[in-house]
């Protein structure tokens, strides 16, 4: 998906708007569906939608060694570890706390980029700017924090690990940005991530009873269509 320069601000604003609502939708979906299974449903649905768009547009899915490596890095780093750990961690913390923790993403991206991208060294002014923006966001939502206990700390650690996994994979993509289009990359990455999430669910979650409520299904569909297929394609 190619966005002209004049559309970049609108695209950015739309991504912010969509992703600002996804934390609550995740919390709603995992209230009735186990977290890894819920994430797998989200990304299987989103990858199917993107595959349909790819077929309509006549895009080609490449299977070179470099392309496959990129698919797996994004699939495992961003969608399997990144969102698998986020869904799992959100079981123990408020959705607002999850959102606060994801504010650390720019800092983690900058740290990984410092070592992986020669032209994006983290200098003092960048560091101060990132910390300032993080402090401002945390100040705005400080009243939504929660009392820390063992489960809350567990959730916080899981979400922070998910942010680190996503940051590393996104920097790797930045390093190879010319090698693959956003539609194909997200479709393959989400599909690979969904397979991993489904396998993790089969091993660790109860499959004896499936309790699909209307609110959970609607939340998964919203996350798949808007929070994944649309937002991730525009983001990349």
The predicted pLDDT at position 179 comes to 60
Q: Are the beta carbons of 156 and 12 closer than 8 angstroms? A: no
Higher-confidence residue of 172 and 119: namely 172
Cα distance between residue 12 and residue 142, in whole Å: 25
Cα distance between residue 136 and residue 146, in whole Å: 18
State pLDDT tens for residues 177-225.
Answer: 666 788 899 999 999 999 999 999 999 998 876 778 899 999 999 999 9
Q: Are the beta carbons of 87 and 26 closer than 8 angstroms? A: yes
Q: How far is CA 188 from CA 35, 47, 62, 139, in A?
A: 21, 7, 10, 38
Q: What percent of the chain has pLDDT over 90?
A: 43
State pLDDT tens for residues 141-164.
Answer: 555 455 667 888 888 889 989 999
Examine the pLDDT at 131 and tell me if it is beyond 80.
no
Cβ neighbors of 220 (< 8 A, separation 6 or more) are 29, 33, 38, 41, 42, 45
Average pLDDT over residues 71-93: 94
Cα distance between residue 221 and residue 212, in whole Å: 12
Element of type H or E holding 227: none
State pLDDT tens for residues 35-64.
Answer: 999 999 999 999 999 999 999 988 888 888
pTM: 0.83
The predicted pLDDT at position 87 comes to 96
Instruction: Please provide the average confidence, as pLDDT, over all residues in the chain.
Output: 85
Examine the pLDDT at 111 and tell me if it is beyond 90.
no
Closest CA to 24 of 233, 223, 197, 201: 223
């Amino acid at each position: 998906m190619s966005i002209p320069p004049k559309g970049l601000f609108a695209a950015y604003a739309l991504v912010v708007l969509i992703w600002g609502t996804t934390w609550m939708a995740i919390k709603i979906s995992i209230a009735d569906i186990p977290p890894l299974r819920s994430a797998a449903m989200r990304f299987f649905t989103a990858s199917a939608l993107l595959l349909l768009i790819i077929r309509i547009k006549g895009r080609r899915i490449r299977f070179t060694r470099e392309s496959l490596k990129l698919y797996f890095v994004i699939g495992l780093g961003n969608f399997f570890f990144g969102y698998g750990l986020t869904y799992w961690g959100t079981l123990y913390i408020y959705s607002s706390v999850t959102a606060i923790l994801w504010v650390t993403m720019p800092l983690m991206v900058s740290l990984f980029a410092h070592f992986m991208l020669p032209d994006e060294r983290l200098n003092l002014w960048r560091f101060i700017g990132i910390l300032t923006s993080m402090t401002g966001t945390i100040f705005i939502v400080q009243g939504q924090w929660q009392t820390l206990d063992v489960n809350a700390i567990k959730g916080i650690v899981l979400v922070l690990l998910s942010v680190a996994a996503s940051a590393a994979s996104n920097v790797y993509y930045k390093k190879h940005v010319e090698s693959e289009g956003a539609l194909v990359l997200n479709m393959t990455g989400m599909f690979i991530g969904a397979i991993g999430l489904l396998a993790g669910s089969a091993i660790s979650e109860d499959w004896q009873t499936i309790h699909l409520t209307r609110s959970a299904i609607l939340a998964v569909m919203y996350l798949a269509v808007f929070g994944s297929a649309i937002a991730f394609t525009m983001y990349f």
